[in-house]
Amino acid sequence: MGGDKDSLSEFLAVAVDAAKKAGEIIRKGFYETKLVEHKGQVDLVTETDKACEDLVFNYIKQHYPEHKFIGEETTAACGTTELTDHPTWIVDPLDGTTNFVHGFPFVCVSIGLTIGKVPTVGVVYNPIMDELFTGIRGKGAFLNGNPIKVSTQSELVKSLLVTEVGTKRDKSTVNFATNRINSLLFKVRSLRMSGSCALDLCGIACGRVDIFYELGFGGPWDVAGGAVIVQEAGGLVFDPSGNDFDITSQRVAASNPHLKDVFVEALREAETHQPSGN
Ligand code: MG
Ligand code: MG
């Protein structure tokens, strides 16, 4: 077979097929009554999450039996798998489960492939809005086959911020999250929460939103697909402190290159404005 790039295109094609098949299950379930279980106080899981993960897992395993696999629901059931340099498929079978349960249309399947721990192939598919985001390292990012770019905004005051508040509801976590938002709201144009970390990253990639951060999300499956899509759309993915992004850290920020420094500074100020005694 051909060189590196050809095999990356094949990996993407398999991931797209898997995402479309999982998307059919999500679309069907979206309009039906859901059987909901709790993973935490407000952290939900449905039979659709599990069915999609089984489907994606089996489909990829058929094609690449030697590759490794990290899935949100497999991890929930069997514990953490360490990320190695091996080609590893990292899958969120349904990102935006709360949206799914409520019939709010920001739901997706996210599939990312890391090679040497580097996000290399990404697919994020929203079957309700029929939006397929794809990216291959070094080969660009696309929405339904059309090239996408991050926004050109350079002023924080004109920027649309997207973030999430996660699933922890202890007083300290909620206070930190809302105080951070309080500080940032004085500096940006407005704030959105889509309910899906993967779709937030894709929003950065296609320029719908300008800056994004999330702290304490579920795991690498929330960011593995979206990270390469943002980077290939000309954006930056980084730790909210401004340091390098670590896919295993449950901390992420993203923006276009013009906004990174001012955004990191605003996030730093938001931390220093946290009241003590939380
Ligand atoms: Mg998720
Ligand atoms: Mg999920």
Q: What's the pLDDT tens digit per position in 239-260? A: 999 999 999 999 999 999 999 9
Please state the pTM of the whole predicted model.
Answer: 0.96
d(C-alpha 32, C-alpha 201), whole Å? 28
Per-residue pLDDT tens over the stretch 197-244: 999 999 999 999 999 999 999 999 999 999 999 999 999 999 999 999
CB 129 within 8 Å of CB 36: no
Ligand number with the minimum distance to the CA of 167: 1
Ligand 2 center to 30 CA (angstroms) = 14
Ligand 2 center to 259 CA (angstroms) = 29
Q: Which of 138, 175, 131, 133 is nearest to 277 (CA)?
A: 175
CB 198 within 8 Å of CB 220: no
Res. 127: pLDDT tops 60: yes
Ligand 1 center to 92 CA (angstroms) = 6
CB 132 within 8 Å of CB 144: yes
Ligand 1 center to 198 CA (angstroms) = 7
Q: Which of 61, 62, 37, 40 is nearest to 50 (CA)?
A: 37
Q: Is 54 exposed, middle or buried (0-12, 13-18, 19+ CB in 10 A)?
A: middle
Confidence of residue 42 (pLDDT cuts 50, 70, 90): confident
Is beta strand 131-136 parallel, antiparallel or unpaired with respect to 118-126?
antiparallel
Ligand 2 center to 35 CA (angstroms) = 15
